[in-house]
Structure 1
């Protein structure tokens, strides 16, 4: 209570929920955003309960030293800022994904090294730093996703977001291991869903759900499944990672079971049966293989993801953080209702 912390990327989907959770706990919070004048993103933050304890700073992931003022005097740094876009929205993987993720991590942690007050860094990574394609997990022990593995198959061309996050997390561990003043805890969430404070977020998870809810899959959903976690649980896990002295290493944040487009659609239709744009059927896999390339899906992507499921081991998060995950139907319905409004 009353401690000052820094959140990078405070206007993002995860970052804004983390700000709300920290303010509710009584923290004094500093948050960085790219543009203080962008009221679409900063307005909702200034309206959060407890916002009198929130200070916003402008910072650029690619500009060394731009986080120094905001970080000075903070004990904990939550490095959340990093772009997340679906593959079809990425035009230049190096410029849009790799440089902000990797150089941003170097710049933020370089400032941490130069800021004596910082004792702990909580880094937001992704399960995509553990695996590249779903088929990779079938080569893991018991076909189960655990923190011990690393993504070794993604490249800047085949999966730029996963590649960028893998490179950034590896860099973070290398920087952390080179010193002994501050500790690093890394969180690896699955697809983050739930209500958003603002429609201006560019998060890839919001884009993916928007495609489903506005009827892109009206005639039927392909059999793609996802590791899912509620954004509010992700925010809570960040705080517990900071407040738990014994926390160390990586933590997967996701439900043990994967959820498909069809399952997500069924949850929405169970409460909104007249929403006819929500799909009622699953497209046969053979049809997806034929039609997928017309929607930007390569045959490699289809072969390595379509119909593939695996188990997620979230034991470390539930044990070390005493984290209880929200029910998936609550997450999906809250996400849908926020999207409608």
Structure 2
């Protein structure tokens, strides 16, 4: 990291919402590793208290604190927690996975706007990073022809499916379409608010692909993607309902949030955290070679491929940001899968031997 290019001085306080999530905890981990102080926002201290012991033992003591905000969608609920913070990284999301868009999407948009308005009222805030998703840019339902992913790409396919007429429990994966649509509309609301209000802080978004790699601690809860991969490890075939897409290492996701926050020339950007193209057949093949004694399900037949593979026009910029913040590009798929596989193997042995 070139200190001359840093927009957020080291030792500054950075506020991270959703700090106990998979992405949020890796963002916290990377911020502390680079020398920032972190104020993590969680809904329950009881469920997140492990983070204090974990991060204060791993990094310099007393650089990490937790603050409880039970509902970020309440106007002004974040005001007090933002005092003295120089940056806000908003990783919190709606993960209720309700199939009803009327329940999920307006509430999540309101949460994002409330968070922006709290930041706007806080003079010390100079950077605001919004955690979006690869699903905001493109659907996992693949088109028939190759296409380019660009900064102007939006997932209009899932957006239309999410808002199609009820019944909302049909089709069975309606909840996934609603989640994707929530990311589309929340990120669009973020950029619209930035354009209309011209705040005194810089805004960027980070769009992680399917996040893999091990959690920061065994008490960490899994996102849906890692939970599906854990199911695969145990022989469940639920992963077959999810088409090809992009994956990214959890550590790289955290580092790209740090870069989007700290790099002075990163302003008004959508940072695509797309490490590599994901096909279940390839993933299972890699794991079979790494763990020959483990019984994996067979790859899905006629899986197809990611039609944007090799056509993510923003990936070189993400590589550049990783090089700046970490000295290397995206972590190889095999390393990330090995780390996660070792974690699952320990869990599998503990459960089968008990």
Smaller-chain TM-score bracket: 0.7 to 0.9
Q: 1:199 Cα shift?
A: 4.6
Q: Matched residues in 1 for 2:242 and 2:133: separation?
A: 22
State the partner residue of 2:88: 77
- 1:232 equivalent to 2:251? Answer yes
User: CA 1:137 to 1:145, structure 2 compared with 1: closer, same or farther past 3 Å?
Assistant: farther
Secondary structure of 1:26 counterpart: coil
Alignment of 1:9-88 (within 5 A): 9-38=18-47, 41-48=48-55, 49-50=58-59, 51-59=61-69, 60-84=71-95
Deviation of the 1:193 alpha carbon: 0.7
Distance 1:45 1:225 in 2: 37
Question: Which residue of structure 1 lines up, in the alignment, with residue 14 of structure 2?
Answer: 5
Measure the CA separation in 1 of the matches of 2:331 and 2:259.
16
Verify: 1:208 aligned to 2:205, yes or no.
no
TM-score (norm 1): 0.83
Whether 1:113 and 2:123 are equivalent positions in the alignment is: no
TM-score by length of 2: 0.80
In the alignment, the residues of structure 2 paired with residue 45 and residue 11 of structure 1 have an alpha-carbon distance, to the nearest angstrom, of: 11
User: How far 1:188 moved relative to its partner?
Assistant: 0.9
Q: Is the 8 A contact 2:40 2:64 kept in 1?
A: yes
Q: How does 1:163-174 map to 2 (within 5 A)?
A: 163-174=181-192
Q: Which moved more, 1:7-16 or 1:205-214?
A: 205-214
CA distance in 2, matches of 1:223, 1:112: 36
On the 8 A contact 2:109/2:189 being kept in 1, the answer is yes
* Deviations, residues 220-265 of structure 1 (Å, cap 9, x unaligned): 967932200001001001111111111021111112x422112111
Distance (whole Å) between structure 1 residues aligned to residue 140 and residue 246 of structure 2: 12
Is the contact made by 1:31 and 1:70 (CA closer than 8 Å) also made in structure 2?
A: no
Coordinate RMSD, CA, aligned:
2.3
The C-alpha deviation readout for 1:282-314, integer Å capped at 9, x for no partner, is 3334xxxxxxxxxxxxxxxxxxxx524222331
CA distance in 1: counterparts of 2:248 and 2:144, whole angstroms = 18
- The answer to which of 188-197 and 264-273 deviates more is 264-273
Matched, 1:328 2:333: yes
1:263 and 2:278 are equivalent in the alignment: no
Corresponding residue of 2:150: 146
Give the Cα–Cα distance (whole angstroms) in 2 for the partners of residues 164 and 267 of structure 1.
33
- Count of paired positions: 308
Q: 1:136 to 1:34 in 2, by over 3 A?
A: farther
SS of 1:252's partner is strand
Q: Secondary structure at the match of 1:149?
A: coil
Which residue in 2 is equivalent to 1:129? 136
Question: Quick check: 1:73–1:117 contact (8 Å CA) kept in 2?
Answer: yes
Shift of 1:325: 0.4
Distance 2:204 2:294 in 1: 42
User: Aligned to 2:142, what secondary structure does the other structure show?
Assistant: helix
> Once the 2 structures are TM-superposed, how far is the Cα of residue 54 of structure 1 from its aligned partner?
0.9
Distance 2:300 2:193 in 1: 46
Query: Does the CA-based 8 Å contact 1:267-1:329 persist in structure 2?
Result: yes
- Deviation string, structure 1 residues 132-151 (Cα, Å, up to 9, x no partner): 3443584xxx6222222112
- The 3 A distance-change label for structure 1 pair 339 and 90 is farther
> Which string of whole-angstrom CA distances, capped at 9 and with x for unpartnered residues, describes residues 80-108 of structure 1?
111347xxx5454443x424531210111
Change (3 A) 1:213 1:93: farther
Deviations 1:126-181 (A, max 9, x none): 1111123443584xxx6222222112222335411110011110111111112141
Q: Which runs of 5+ in 1 are unaligned?
A: 286-305
After TM superposition, the structure 1 stretch with the greater mean CA deviation from structure 2, 12-21 or 202-211, is 202-211
Q: Secondary structure at the match of 1:154?
A: helix
Q: Which residue does 1:292 correspond to in 2?
A: none
